[in-house]
């Protein structure tokens, strides 16, 4: 009976384990391809690859999820990795339809496979926070969903993708990660999907949870958590989506600017927007033209949410008027308030209910 080829020698403890794997397989007889003995004790995770710089190459090509995993042999010591190709696009091309499909697929995986320890999504960093927050509001499981990306492509000197992927898998298999909502892991930091923002166009430490801080840290010897969220998400979310839903309502973001006459906001209302997010100035205060347009559009029954271009600090309730349909985003940035508003509009929620959701999710 031909002896199965031993796995290629991988440095570290795993090398000897693969020898155990070869012996174990031989003992079981040809054809009885079983995972290495220890493998059966290692947690199993699914890596879903969507594209982004983490998969990018200097030549312009995109690595597959399988190639991303193959490039990090240390993953073998952490978990049994299954890989699934979802898309191979830059995240600036991600759409709400992608969000829906990804959420539906993750819910399907976690529902059908109770032994799966968690899911890791490799994704571009440009719109990672929107996808992460959408999953945070719609994944119906306490098991970890961890998003990872990178600021340097896979061909770069000191590429950060491999380390971020390893960190993401280490977080996903850590029992402490359960029940904390969707996580974003880059640069050894563990962020909540709700609080994290991309703050630098070029640096590897670009993801920051400026107002509330990280949830934890990925250290060489262990995963350290120091914070949990006070807001609702995943199994406690009021915004989960039925698997039959195939599209989301149109909810634009309109940026305010000095001298704005509010015509763009009015135009969106005539284009069938189900709600609108205003990226206003500090404190959620708007130009007179935008404020007049917001009042008129809200009076026509299109909820308007006042958010701010300023990265920290809540928009106070006094800026809005629930009875007039003018709501406030609180500490959610415009692009995350939009994600929540699309889900609330899908459910046909009224102004008071939308404000409650903005204040609690």
Q: Which of 62, 87, 91, 192 binds ligand ASP (CB under 6 A)?
A: 91
Other beta carbons less than 10 A from residue 158's beta carbon: 7
Decide: helix, strand or coil at residue 197: strand
Q: In angstroms, give the least distance from the CB of 98 to ligand ASP.
A: 12
Q: In angstroms, give the least distance from the CB of 2 to ligand ASP.
A: 44
Give catalytic status of residue 206 as yes or no: no
302-to-73, 214, 247, 348 alpha-carbon distances in Å: 52, 35, 19, 11
149 binds ligand ASP (CB under 6 A): yes
H or E, element range at 186: strand 183-186
65 binds ligand ASP (CB under 6 A): no
Q: Which of 125, 187, 209, 234 binds ligand ASP (CB under 6 A)?
A: 125
52 binds ligand ASP (CB under 6 A): yes
Alpha helices in the chain (DSSP H): 13-28, 37-41, 65-70, 96-112, 128-138, 161-172, 263-270, 288-299, 334-346, 351-360
53 binds ligand ASP (CB under 6 A): yes
Instruction: Tokens for 345, please give them.
Output: 């509009």
124 binds ligand ASP (CB under 6 A): yes
Nearer to ligand ASP, 10 or 72 (CB): 72
Instruction: Tokens for 177, please give them.
Output: 């990660």
Task: Choose the stretch contacting ligand ASP; rule: CB under 6 A; options: 90-98, 229-237, 265-273, 287-295.
Answer: 90-98
Nearer to ligand ASP, 13 or 93 (CB): 93
187 binds ligand ASP (CB under 6 A): no
Q: How many CA atoms lie within 13 A of 349 on its CB side?
A: 24
The single-letter DSSP state of residue 360 is H
162 binds ligand ASP (CB under 6 A): no
Instruction: Tokens for 110, please give them.
Output: 């976690």
| Contacts with ligand ASP, residue ranges (CB under 6 A) | 52-53, 90-92, 124-126, 149, 151
Q: Which residues are catalytic?
A: 53
């Amino acid at each position: 009976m031909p002896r199965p080829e031993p796995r290629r020698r991988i440095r570290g403890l795993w090398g000897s384990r693969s020898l155990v794997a070869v012996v174990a397989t031989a003992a079981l007889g040809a054809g009885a391809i079983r995972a290495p003995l220890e493998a059966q004790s290692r947690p199993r995770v699914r890596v879903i690859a969507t594209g982004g710089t983490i998969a990018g190459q200097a030549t312009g090509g995109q690595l597959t999820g399988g190639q991303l995993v193959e490039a990090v042999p240390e993953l073998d010591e952490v978990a049994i990795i299954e890989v699934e190709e979802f898309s191979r696009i830059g995240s600036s091309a991600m759409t709400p339809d992608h969000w829906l499909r990804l959420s539906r697929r993750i819910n399907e995986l976690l529902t059908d496979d109770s032994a799966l320890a968690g899911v890791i999504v490799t994704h571009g960093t440009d719109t990672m926070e929107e996808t992460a927050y959408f999953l945070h509001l719609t994944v119906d499981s306490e098991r970890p969903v961890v998003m990872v990306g990178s600021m340097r492509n896979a061909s770069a000197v000191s590429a950060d993708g491999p380390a971020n992927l390893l960190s993401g898998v280490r977080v996903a298999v850590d029992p402490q990660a359960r029940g904390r909502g969707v996580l974003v892991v880059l640069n050894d930091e563990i962020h909540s999907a709700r609080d994290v923002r991309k703050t630098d166009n070029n640096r590897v430490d670009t993801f920051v949870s400026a107002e509330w801080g990280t949830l934890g840290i990925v250290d060489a010897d262990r995963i350290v958590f120091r914070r949990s969220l006070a807001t609702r998400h995943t199994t406690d979310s009021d915004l989960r989506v039925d698997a039959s839903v195939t599209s989301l309502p149109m909810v634009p973001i309109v940026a305010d600017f000095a001298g704005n006459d509010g015509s763009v906001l009015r135009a969106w209302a005539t284009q069938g927007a189900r709600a609108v997010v205003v990226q206003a100035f500090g404190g959620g205060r708007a130009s007179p033209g935008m404020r007049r347009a917001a009042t008129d559009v809200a009076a026509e029954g299109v909820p308007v949410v006042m958010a701010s271009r300023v990265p920290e600090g809540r928009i106070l309730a006094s800026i809005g008027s629930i009875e007039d349909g003018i709501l406030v985003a609180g500490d959610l940035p415009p692009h995350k308030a939009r994600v929540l508003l699309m889900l609330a509009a899908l459910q046909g929620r009224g102004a008071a209910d939308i404000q409650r959701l903005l204040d609690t999710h």
